[in-house]
Structure 1
Amino acid sequence: MLRKSISIVLSLGFWAVGTAQAQENIGGNKTVVQSPVVHEDNAVTIRLAAKTQGEVYVIGNWMSGGKEKMLRDSLGLYYTTPSLSSDLYMYNLEMDGVVVNDPLNVYIVRDVANTFNYFLTKGAQADFYQIQDVPHGTVAKRWYDSPTLGMTRRMTVYTPAGYEQSEKALPVLYLLHGMGGDEEAWATLGRATQILDNMIAQGKVKPMIVVMPNGHVSNAAAPGESAKGQYPINFFTPDVGSGKMEESFMDIVQFVESNYRVKKEKSTRAIAGLSMGGSHTLFTSAYLNNHFDYVGLFSAAFRMNDKVQSPVFSNFEQNLAKQRDNGYKLYWIGMGKEDFLYKVGEDYRKRLDAIGMKYTYRESEGGHTWSNWRLYLTEFLPLLF
C-alpha cells in the first residue's frame, strides 16, 4: 500500500514540477524546484518535489557506502552533501526500497546496466570535465570490419578541432574501457572528449586522434546499437579473458590507419585502458611488442580467465621481454590505494621489476572508480607524443 501511495503522489508531484518546462505547454506555470544545486563551497543540494510520508534516501558515489536519508521542508524532500572535492559525481534515489533516478535532473549516464544522475562540482579538476568555450573536436561512431573476428563492429573516434580543415597527420591513442563497458564508456562516463578539447585548447596536450573500441568482442556495439537489439546487459560476457580482443587488435589499427590521417610510427601510437581494458592494454602492447611507444595501465587487471589457451597469454613472458628490448618511451601505471585490484597491480609491478622493465607508478587515494580513471587520463595525456 505504501508503494502505491508513493507512486501516486510522486506521479502527481513530477507532473506538477516536470511539465512546467516542457516544450509543449501542458499544465501551466508551476513552482520550479531545481535539483541538484551546486553551492559555492561545493556542497550540493538534491531535491524531490513530493509529499510522500515514506522515507527517501540518496545513494551517491561520494559516500563511503550506504545511503543517506532526505529531510523535509515546505518544498518536499531535500538532502545536502558535505563540501565535495572538484569532480563528477553520480547518484540515485531510493524510495520504498526501489532505486530510481532523480526526476528533476535530466543529466543521466549509463554505466553497464545501471543509469545514474550526475553533477559536476566547481574547481580545477572538474573544469577539465565541463564543456568549455573552446574549439571542439568531432566524435564519430565508426563501423569497421574485423576479419579476425569475422564481424563488423563499432568504435568511437575523437578527432581534434581543426582536423577536417588540416592536412597534417596526427598521433593516435587507443583508449580501452573496463568490464561491462563498451565503445561509449570513455566518452560518457570518462568525459574523454571534454578532457581532450579542454587540455588541447590550453596547450597541455598535443592534438591527437583517440580511438575508443568495444572491448567485449562478443558484442558488435553498445547495447541497443547493433542488430542484436535491446538485450539484457551482461557484465561478464563470454569473451572476457579470452585473448580475442588482443588477437584482433590489429584489425582496429589497420582500419584507423587506412581511414584517418594518422602517423604510423611506433613513436606516434599510444595505448591505455582501465581495469579489463588495462589487462587488454598490457597484453596487447606485449603481443604487438614493437607497435606502441606509450602504454597506460589504469587500475589494470591481469589474467581474467586462466583456463583459456591463447598465444597472447602463453607467450606473454617472451613478448614482455621483447617489448622491453624493443624500447618504449613511457609505461605508466596508476592505482588507487583502496582498489580491489591493488594486490594484482603490486604483483604485476614485481614482475616488471624482475625483468628490469622500467615504468612510472602513480598511486592515488580511493579505489576502482571513474573518479580515478578520469584523473589518470588528465595526467597521462600530457606525457604523450
Structure 2
Amino acid sequence: MTSQESHLNLDPQYTRRVMEAHTYYSTHLQEERTIKVCLPPNFDPLRRYPVVYCHDGNEFFTHGRIATIANQLVAEGKISPLLIVGIAVNLPRRTDDYASDGARSGAYQSFVLEECLPFVETRYPVDVRQRFMAGVSLGGVASLLLAMRAPDVVNKLLLFSGAYYEHMQHKAAAQASFDFLQAYMMVGTKETALKTSHGTQNLLALNRSMRDLLVTRGARVAYREEEGDHVWGFWQTWLPDALMWLQTVVHSETVHPEE
C-alpha cells in the first residue's frame, strides 16, 4: 500500500466507535493506569478477535487515529475486525518504563504481562493466538523487550521508528534466537539526527542494524523505509500498511494453523 492509498477517510461511519476506558491500579508500578479498549464495528461478544496492544495508547488513538483507520479498512473489506487496546503512558516516566536500561523497565513489563493482559483478556473475547503489540520510538523498544521476556505470549510486533539505542542493540544481540518473532518494522529516511535523552541518534541506521540482527536470528520481518521524520503524521500515514500486514499474519495462521 502506498502513502497515497492510505489517505485517512474522516467519514462519520469510520470515526464513530465504541471505546471503553478502565482505570487499573498496578501493584508493579505502584500507580493507576488507564486502559482503553476500542471495540470493532458490529462487535459480537461471542466471537474471538485479534487484538493489538498499543504503548502510548492515548496517542495511538488521538495522533495515530488507529481506530478510525482500522474501521475504514474493515468497512472496505481489507482487514478483519479486531480489538485495539491503548495502554496509557506515564509521560514523565516514559523512558524509565520503555527503555531497555530504564529504571522501571522490568516493572513495566510485569505490569503488561501480569496485570494488563489478564485484565483485558478476562473481560473481552480475545483470540490469544492473534495477539499483536505496537509501539513508536521507545514504545517499539518496550514491545521488543516484552517479546524477548515472554515469547510465548508476545511474538507479533508493529514497530515504528524504534529507538534501538546501544544498550538495546547489545541486549538483543545477546538473545540466541528470534525464530519466534514476526515483526513489521517502519522507519523514516529523515530520522538520521534525532535529539534524545541518549544524545543525537541515527534511528535509520539503528533500525537497519536491528532488522539485520533479528533476521539473522530467525525472525520474520517485513521492513520498510519511507521518506519521513520522527512524528505522528508520518506514522499515521503508514498505519494502514501495518494493519494490512497484521491481516496477512492473521490470515496465514488461520488458513495454515501451526500443528
TM-score, normalised via structure 2 length: 0.77
User: 2:6 touches 2:241 (CA, 8 Å); kept in 1?
Assistant: no
Distance in 2 (alpha carbons) for counterparts of 1:125 and 1:261:
29
Match of 1:254 among 118, 124, 127: 118
Residue type matched to 2:237 in 1? Answer: L
Structure 2 counterpart of 1:209: 83
Structure 2 counterpart of 1:376: 238
1:362 is paired with a residue of what secondary structure?
A: strand
User: 2:14 touches 2:71 (CA, 8 Å); kept in 1?
Assistant: yes
Measured after TM superposition, the shift of residue 146 of structure 1 is: 2.2
Structure 2 unaligned runs (5+)? 193-202, 251-259
Residue type matched to 2:122 in 1? Answer: S
Distance in 1 (alpha carbons) for counterparts of 2:140 and 2:219:
17
Distance in 2 (alpha carbons) for counterparts of 1:150 and 1:168:
34
User: 2:38 touches 2:67 (CA, 8 Å); kept in 1?
Assistant: yes
Measured after TM superposition, the shift of residue 126 of structure 1 is: 3.1
Task: Evaluate the alpha carbon distance shift between residue 137 and residue 346 of structure 1 in structure 2; reply closer, same or farther with a 3 A threshold.
Answer: same
Q: Deviations over 1:26-84 (max 9, x none)?
A: xxxxxxxxxxxxxxxxxxxxxxxxxxxxxxxxxxxxxxxxxxxxxxxxxxxxxxxxxxx
Distance in 1 (alpha carbons) for counterparts of 2:45 and 2:96:
42
Structure 1 counterpart of 2:46: 167
TM-score, normalised via structure 1 length: 0.54
Distance in 1 (alpha carbons) for counterparts of 2:98 and 2:123:
28
Aligned length: 230
RMSD, aligned CA: 2.9
Structure 1 counterpart of 2:133: 271
Structure 2 counterpart of 1:195: 69
Structure 2 counterpart of 1:131: 11
1:173 is paired with a residue of what secondary structure?
A: strand
Structure 2 counterpart of 1:292: 154
Task: Evaluate the alpha carbon distance shift between residue 142 and residue 131 of structure 1 in structure 2; reply closer, same or farther with a 3 A threshold.
Answer: farther
Measured after TM superposition, the shift of residue 166 of structure 1 is: 4.0
Structure 1 counterpart of 2:30: 150
* 1:338 equivalenced with 2:190 (yes/no): yes
Structure 2 counterpart of 1:78: none
Distance in 2 (alpha carbons) for counterparts of 1:345 and 1:369:
16
Residue type matched to 1:292 in 2? Answer: V
Determine which structure has more spread, i.e. the larger CA radius of gyration.
1
User: 2:184 touches 2:245 (CA, 8 Å); kept in 1?
Assistant: no
Measured after TM superposition, the shift of residue 278 of structure 1 is: 0.8
Distance in 2 (alpha carbons) for counterparts of 1:245 and 1:363:
29
Task: Evaluate the alpha carbon distance shift between residue 288 and residue 322 of structure 1 in structure 2; reply closer, same or farther with a 3 A threshold.
Answer: farther
Distance in 2 (alpha carbons) for counterparts of 1:200 and 1:290:
28
1:203 is paired with a residue of what secondary structure?
A: coil
Distance in 1 (alpha carbons) for counterparts of 2:149 and 2:187:
23
* 1:185 equivalenced with 2:59 (yes/no): yes
- Identity value in percent: 23
Distance in 2 (alpha carbons) for counterparts of 1:160 and 1:361:
27
Task: Evaluate the alpha carbon distance shift between residue 127 and residue 296 of structure 1 in structure 2; reply closer, same or farther with a 3 A threshold.
Answer: closer
Structure 1 unaligned runs (5+)? 1-85, 88-122, 178-182, 220-233, 307-311
Higher helix share: 2
Residue type matched to 2:21 in 1? Answer: K
Residue type matched to 1:152 in 2? Answer: E
Measured after TM superposition, the shift of residue 322 of structure 1 is: 4.8
Measured after TM superposition, the shift of residue 184 of structure 1 is: 1.6
Distance in 2 (alpha carbons) for counterparts of 1:141 and 1:209:
13
Residue type matched to 1:203 in 2? Answer: G
Residue type matched to 1:247 in 2? Answer: S
Task: Evaluate the alpha carbon distance shift between residue 354 and residue 124 of structure 1 in structure 2; reply closer, same or farther with a 3 A threshold.
Answer: closer
Distance in 2 (alpha carbons) for counterparts of 1:201 and 1:368:
29
